[in-house]
Amino acid sequence: MTRIAADWIAAPPTRAVTDAMAAAGHEIYFVGGCVRNALLGQPVSDIDLATNAAPKETLAAAQAAGLRAVPTGIDHGTVTLVADGHPFEVTTFRRDVETDGRRAVVVFSERLEDDAARRDFTMNALYATPDGTVIDPVGGLADLAAGRLRFIGDADGRIAEDYLRILRFFRFHAWYADPANGMDGEALAACARGADGLGRLSAERVGHEMRKLLAAPDPAPSVAAMARTGILARVLPGADPAMLAPLVDLEDRFDVAADPIRRLAALGGEDPAARLRLSRAEARRLSQLRAALGSDETPAALGYRYGPDTAMDIALLRAALSGQPLAADTTAEISRGARSPCPVGAVDLMPGLAGAALGDALARIEGRWIRSDFRASRDELLHKL
């Protein structure tokens, strides 16, 4: 018998929810990511639960226990119970009766097995009782222990239910699979066969999955597999994964945190902001990084122009593109440039200059300041002007 020992299981808010459902005579189980991550010893952010209670019964149980209940997705069986300010999604066991590749028509069930059968991967169909005892209806424990990502049942059928599962396959492989196992060949073939369905997904859903994939510790093998099967070209035409593995290696060497936008800049591609529905801030940052890729400015100059974080992004991307090693003092040089404000500002040139002439003069002074390696004095810069 496998049992989870985790602080969040015994936490008072969690107990309040499970006790409320049990007191009303209903089965209640932790399910999905919280169980998977607890077994892997990884952080748990969201605690989802599944129950044999119908949504109205969940609402009644919450009311009897004095818990706030929010019918967030009641038509699909989901009620959010709030205990001590902590939200818990409680969803009735379901089974699909109709799917169109984007959404499903479901009916409620009283059987945990029905609920497990409609999920995507075996490692995501693990349940746990309120005391942490794990229930494994589809063989997910063995797959999780082996680092093996496997669809539940027929891979083509699972994908046809929701084509987003193609991208989820690559995302979960990057996060949870053991690279030594390689990818499940049949699952990969099924993803390739279902690739036409990706065009039916919204840009928001595709972008959400791609961000999560690119945030993985090392997404390069998964993205390379996407490219080999033609899936990357469907999601992001023109993207090339060649720079991604070198970039991840450089990030590790310089202890730089994973960042989806930096990695997206390495992939390139046509109009990623629209295809992945990036926010305005993300789109601006991506454009800035891609535009600076051709720059030959020193790390110190990059630090001065862009600040330490963006400068390091650019330095890493340039090194990944060129295949040249990044100097050991890159971080220190970037920091030095970021701490070197130009001693001449607009106020020093007014009222003699204004408008475009003022901007041009400031740009020339700034260029001289950078070329002097941040050593020229204020008088020297003004004198040259």
Q: Is the pLDDT of residue 210 over 60?
A: yes
Q: What confidence tier does 72 reach under pLDDT thresholds 50, 70, 90?
A: confident
Which sequence spans correspond to the domains of the chain? 1-146, 344-384
Q: What confidence tier does 355 reach under pLDDT thresholds 50, 70, 90?
A: confident
pLDDT at res. 384: 64
Q: Is the pLDDT of residue 99 over 80?
A: no
Number of Cβ atoms within 10 Å of the Cβ of 186: 13
Q: Which of 90-94, 106-110, 264-268, 330-334 has the lowest mean pLDDT?
A: 106-110
Q: Own/partner pairs for 101-108, CB < 8 Å, 24+ apart?
A: 101/160, 101/161, 101/162, 101/163, 101/197, 101/200, 102/162, 102/163, 102/164, 102/200, 102/201, 103/162, 104/161, 104/162, 106/76, 106/77, 108/54, 108/55, 108/77
β strands within the chain, DSSP E: 28-31, 48-51, 68-73, 78-83, 86-92, 94-99, 104-108, 127-128, 134-135
Q: Is the pLDDT of residue 102 over 70?
A: no
> Higher confidence at residue 281 or residue 102?
281
The angle formed by the CA atoms of residues 140, 172 and 274, to the nearest 5 degrees, is: 150
Domain covering 1-146 in this structure, CATH number: 3.30.460.10
Place of tokens 């891609």: 290
Q: Are 235 and 202 in contact (CB under 8 A)?
A: no
Q: What is the pTM of this model?
A: 0.90
Number of Cβ atoms within 10 Å of the Cβ of 140: 26
Place of tokens 């995501």: 124
Q: Is the pLDDT of residue 101 over 60?
A: no
* pLDDT tens, position by position, 111-170: 999 999 999 999 999 999 999 999 999 999 999 999 999 999 999 999 999 999 999 999
Q: Are 36 and 126 in contact (CB under 8 A)?
A: yes
Number of Cβ atoms within 10 Å of the Cβ of 350: 10
Provide φ and ψ at 341, rounded to 5°: -65, 145
Structure tokens at 8: 């969040």
Q: Are 251 and 282 in contact (CB under 8 A)?
A: no
Q: What residues have CB less than 8 Å from 129, skipping those under 6 apart?
A: 29, 30, 135
Q: What confidence tier does 385 reach under pLDDT thresholds 50, 70, 90?
A: low
> Higher confidence at residue 361 or residue 188?
188
Q: Is the pLDDT of residue 264 over 90?
A: yes
Q: Which amino acid is at 50?
A: A
Q: What percent of the chain has pLDDT over 70?
A: 97
Query: What are the DSSP calls for 94-122, one per residue?
Result: EEEEEE-BS-EEEEE-S-HHHHHHTSSBG
pLDDT at res. 383: 77
Q: Is the pLDDT of residue 37 over 90?
A: yes
> Higher confidence at residue 242 or residue 347?
242
Q: What is the mean pLDDT of residues 90-117?
A: 81
Q: Are 337 and 303 in contact (CB under 8 A)?
A: yes
pLDDT at res. 243: 97
Q: What is the mean pLDDT of residues 316-344?
A: 94
Taking all residues of the chain, what is their mean pLDDT, rounded to a whole number? 93
Q: Is the pLDDT of residue 329 over 70?
A: yes
DSSP state of 325: P
Q: Which amino acid is at 175?
A: W
Beta bridge partners of residue 101, listed in sequence order: 162
Q: Are 99 and 106 in contact (CB under 8 A)?
A: no
